[in-house]
Structure 1
Amino acid sequence: ISSPSAPAAGGTLEGAAALEARLTRRLRDALHRGLAHLQFGQVILASIGSTAPFVGLFGTVWAIHHALTGIGDAGTLTIEKVAGPVGEALVMTAAGIAVAVPAVLAFNTFGKLVAACEAELEGFAHDLRRMVLDAPQD
């Protein structure tokens, strides 16, 4: 990154801008790049947190379907024929929730940390901009 006081390429929009506008743009671009690095992975956590319960529900429905098919094929209804497969189906639901809850908690925690970092970086960029613009020009 070149100095904001360095001349910009001729014939560009940046070249036509004043020092203050170039500095603001470069600080904003650096801030956005830093935030993109901090936010990496949050989409994955959000996706896991929102889809895992549905995957668990699908497993539950699948296991109950197989349980009912097995009961129908056997022709007799006993508690053993119902309890085992339904218990397996409930394990699928629990697995989906067990995956989703930590993912959502991590997403929320990282989101709060990123927001705090963003506020600090914006404050730093503002202070740096003021310091550069208020410095005596040679």
Structure 2
Amino acid sequence: MDHVTDLSLWGMFLEASIVVKLVMIGLLFASIWCWSIIVNKMLLFSRTEKSMDRFEEVFWSGQSLEDLYKNLSSRPTIAMGTLFVAAMREWKRSFESASSAFMGLHARIEKVLDVSIAREVEKLESNLLVLASVASAGPFVGLFGTVWGIMTAFTSIASSGNTSLNTVAPGIAEALFATAIGLFAAIPALVSYNVLQGRVARAQARMESFADEFSSILSRQIDHHVASGRDRAA
């Protein structure tokens, strides 16, 4: 390898072999991709958590379920709002159908709530697998670039016959630069993945708690309607 005097980051990149350059470029693109996912997810979780806070405040304020449904069904909803609209839609379909539609209504509402929760969680978890993949594979990809760079450096040193530190150090530095970029991509991805997974779990727990409470409310309403129907029949 030729004697390298420029040990800046850009200089080491330019002097690296084509394989190491490809590794570095790939890791940099992976890092940019991860940061775009991280920013997008942070904004999404912020909107979701604020939406759940607002919805719970309105839901428990005493507003009628019918009025709340009319308000939410006319615009896009997320998280708890989506669960509420889906359950109320199933509830209203049963009212608009024959009285026999009340049979199994509670089970259908619970199924609708479960499906809605799964879809909302899927939205929150989308692309998190990319962060996990970069976090686990990034250091190894960087290590591959380092090993390849060291092999190339030693091959060049053996060919030139010059083993002075000025000749050896630049090649080793270029090779280690690949590992540094791998860690640069992997560490934020790993930390962000763990943080975001924790927020997914908390959001899922809140939605499941609301679903249980709302299901209980509707169950009491179903029992009331069934009892009223029996009284009228008697």
Under TM normalisation by the shorter chain, which class is it? 0.7 to 0.9
Instruction: Show structure 1 runs of 5+ residues with no match.
Output: 8-14
1:64–1:85: 8 Å Cα contact kept in structure 2?
yes
**Offset of residue 99 of structure 1:** 0.7
- Matched to 1:71, the amino acid is I
**Offset of residue 5 of structure 1:** 5.7
Inter-partner Cα distance in structure 2 for 1:101 and 1:61: 20
Inter-partner Cα distance in structure 1 for 2:91 and 2:109: 5
| 1:3 aligned onto 2:90 | yes
Match 1:107 to one of 193, 196, 203: 193
Q: Which residue of 2 aligns with 1:126?
A: 212
- Matched to 2:196, the amino acid is F
Give the number of equivalent residue pairs.
130
**Offset of residue 75 of structure 1:** 1.8
Q: TM-score normalised to the size of structure 2? A: 0.53
1:4–1:22: 8 Å Cα contact kept in structure 2?
no
- Matched to 1:62, the amino acid is W
| 1:31 aligned onto 2:117 | yes
Inter-partner Cα distance in structure 2 for 1:59 and 1:26: 50
Q: TM-score normalised to the size of structure 1? A: 0.88
Give the percent of matched residue pairs that are identical in Structure 1 and Structure 2.
Answer: 33
Secondary structure of residue in 1 paired with 2:90: coil
Inter-partner Cα distance in structure 1 for 2:91 and 2:119: 17
Inter-partner Cα distance in structure 2 for 1:77 and 1:38: 55
Inter-partner Cα distance in structure 2 for 1:98 and 1:92: 10
CA-to-aligned-CA distance 1:8-33 (integer Å, 9 cap, x gap): xxxxxxx8x71111111001000100
